[in-house]
Amino acid sequence: MNQCSIAYISFDTVPAPKGAAIHITAFSTALASAFNEIQLVTVSPSGTIQTSNNIHPHIQQTMLPAIGNNLINRVLSFRNFLREFLAGKRWKVIQIRSIYEGFIIANNKKQYCDYLIFEVNGLPSIELKYRYPAVADDRELIHKLYTQEQVCLETADLIITPSSVTSAFLQNRGVDINKIKVIPNGVDLDVFTVKENYHHEDIFKLLYFGTFSSWQGVNLAIEALGLINRDFPASLTLIGQGRNAQIKTLENLADKLGVLDKLTILEPVSQVKLVEYIHQSDVILAPLTPNDRNLVQGCCPLKVLEAMATGVPVISSDLPVVRDLGENGLDFLLVKPGSAKAIKDAVLLLRNNQELITTITNNARNTIVNNYTWQKAGLDLINAYTELGIKRLITA
């Protein structure tokens, strides 16, 4: 049987202009820098098996197909290809990110690896209903998801999560706190640079970037746009991934509020291009909604961290997952969750207070530099591996 070192397996497409892909790239690169050869397994964008070492010279990436007209079929397809890929191979460590790839490994841990690391950013028993509302009433499916999650949680030797809220959630599901390590998301400071000469023009420019999932509260940004335009001209740009029905719903809301001509919706862009849009903006919005995904399960909102690094002030919902990242009034402005009026009031406050903008943007950048870089997250990940007894092969 072929003994390898580390495999990082994820039911995600990499590279891609998504937070998950950015996270995976950063973590796999950190592992390669410390442990030499890394096997990265992800979803193939073409529907065929592909290999690449474009991410890093020491990362051998294998992309497996996930074929199907719905999520379940795509997961089953990926699992079948993954079983074939795993045959005859064994690693010192396998790191997974979800049950979609992780369940078959957790069920056969001794066959595939010595150590299993489960990186929990979100769990489908919580999140799936927001993407597919019909499954909320499918108790049998939710039970299956929950059961598979428990198998992975119980089998894993180490659980990595980006938020203290998620850590508490996992403890409530029976996970020993000593098995959990919190490693927040990070920012690439070479990409997310500081905007120079902050000043706003006649039209105040608002920006949201991220997915259009309901837990993100994008509708609140549009409602706030309607309120703001009663007082002064403002525009809103949305950059992210959403289904056609989601985009149509957002456009209909803007039309109903009389601000459709003030709204621009763009597809996901590269991080470099995203920073250009950020630097053209006056405020970044992160109107996360108060639901079980954000309040109970938890998350580490990458959009908030990235925006904090850019010299543009951030307005976000006052939720524990955001409070973990900084201090209200110093690193960002936190507003009542679910309130478009609160967002409007915060925009008004910033628009008329350049001193506050300077304080927030300077403090936010310093907070990111000191606490939330991918370099720091990578070092924390490497330390977690060494604590398991995995010896570094590269020390430079």
Low-confidence ranges of the chain (pLDDT < 50): 1-3, 396
pTM for this structure? 0.93
Report pLDDT for 4: 53
Edge-first strand listing for the sheet containing 204-209: 263-266, 234-239, 204-209, 283-286, 314-317, 333-335
- Cα angle at 133 between 132 and 137, to 5 degrees? 115
Report pLDDT for 1: 38
Report pLDDT for 3: 44
- Cα dihedral 13, 19, 23, 25 in deg (nearest 10): 50
Report pLDDT for 393: 62
Residues forming beta bridges with residue 263, ordered by sequence position: 236
Report pLDDT for 38: 94
Report pLDDT for 136: 82
Report pLDDT for 394: 55
